[in-house]
Amino acid sequence: MFLLASCGWQESKTAEEWFDFTWSGLAGIDTLKFKGQAAVARGQRWSLDEQLGYSGELKDHQKLSMQSTLPSTEAGQDKGQQIEAAGTSQAQIQLAWNGETWKVADSQVSALTAGLSRLNPLEQLESIRRAAKTITEEHAAARGTRVLRIQLDPEAAKRVLNKQLVEEMEAVRTGWQRRLQNLSGGQRKEVESELEREWSKGRKHLDNMLTACQAETVYYLTINRNTGLPERMTSETRLLYTNTRGIQEQEALLTDSKFEYGK
């Protein structure tokens, strides 16, 4: 009777309750792995301009290592296969959970590592949990799974994107400030002044762009009905903004992460 009642409770959960249930279960996991693909699409026809693969491994609940790879270019492979067969490692980072978010070690901060950390599906789930959102359940899920469609409120999507891009800009600054230490005093001061001027111009443009842009983020989260843990999460963040030439452009970041447990 208890098992039957438990099954009935599982069936009666709302989409929001499924997300909370999954997030709670994942919060209790000490080790897991994930592997994913990411692509940037631009223009009216959403042509894929940049692609990479990434993977990560969680240990001791609070330590996460991630690495990115470039797709191989073997003949006969489509773009998805190229990413799946990713070969050359491009960046490796270590992240630590501080109770609120996943932070990259200061010594590793760079534009590349900051961009890689944005693909972290564990951080994406944390952002979803904190953000204003609408969660509905898809009815075409494969047997044994539940699929949630999670759409962030426009202002919430914009705040998440703002935080990510500002962190990446700050990483750029930290990176060149560290490299300047190798220059002599007089030369360092001159180069630092020029870099600071250019960086400030870029940061001002970013702030202006983010103020006026429109953002839309949708996630699809596939959950194993038996374990309650996520099996896969895809995301699409669309951005409409005005570039430095005053022309309106469209851009989208697509991610697809698959989780593994106990392997």
- The per-residue pLDDT for 9 is 47
- The per-residue pLDDT for 63 is 94
Which residues touch 237 (CB under 8 Å, ≥6 apart)?
A: 157, 161, 215, 216, 217, 252, 253
End-to-end CA distance of the chain: 34
Beta bridge partners of 136: 149
Distance CA 48, CA 78 (A): 12
- The per-residue pLDDT for 218 is 97
Instruction: Give residue-wise pLDDT tens across range 5-62.
Output: 445 445 678 999 999 999 999 988 999 999 999 998 887 666 666 788 999 999 998 9
Q: Other CB atoms closer than 10 Å to residue 173's CB: what's the count? A: 17
pTM given for the model: 0.83
Reply yes or no on whether the pLDDT at 164 is more than 60: yes
- The per-residue pLDDT for 82 is 43
